[in-house]
Every structure is written in structure tokens, then in C-alpha cells.
Amino acid sequence: MPGMSGPELQRELTRRNQPIPIVFITANEDSSECARVMDAGAVSCLIKPFSETALLRAVTKAIQTE
């Protein structure tokens, strides 16, 4: 995403009162990044590589959150 990171987009959506379920996908193995986005309201944070089962679980949770 040119010009904006995922966490920045999450903050902007929150600022605009546009809550949508967010599943973050990252290659960064720093667990503190996942903790930050989850604390800010993300439904899930998946670290690459992840299983199809983990992705399906995260998307299902996001759909149920709406």
C-alpha cells in the first residue's frame, strides 16, 4: 500500500469511525506488532507462513464480527 501502512490505515479508519473487521497478514515475526494491532481492534494477525486453516479461522471470525 503506497503511502500508508496497515496499522496507519487501521488508525485512520478508527479516527473516521469506520469500524471494519481487519485481519492483518505480516512477514514481520515481531510479536509486538501483532499485539499492537490486536489491541487497536484487529480481529486477527497472521504471521507468514500460515496455514490455510489459520486463514479460514481468521476470515470466519472477521465475518462473524460484522
Quick one: DSSP state of residue 3?
A: T
pLDDT at site 1: 62
In a domain, 29, yes or no: yes
Q: Residue 31, SS3?
A: helix
Quick one: DSSP state of residue 42?
A: -
Choice between 65 and 50, residue whose per-residue pLDDT is larger? 50
Q: Within 10 A of 6 (CB to CB), how many other CB atoms are there?
A: 16
What CATH number does the domain containing 49 carry? Answer: 3.40.50.2300
How many folded domains does the chain comprise? 1
Structure confidence by residue, pLDDT tens digits, 5-50: 999 999 999 999 998 999 999 998 888 999 999 999 999 999 999 9
Q: Which range, of 1-5, 22-26, 50-54, averages the lowest pLDDT?
A: 1-5
Host domain of residue 23: 6-65
Q: Which residue has the cell 504471521?
A: 47
In a domain, 1, yes or no: no
In a domain, 61, yes or no: yes
pLDDT at site 36: 94
pLDDT at 64 over 80: yes
Q: Which residue has the cell 497472521?
A: 46
pLDDT at site 66: 66
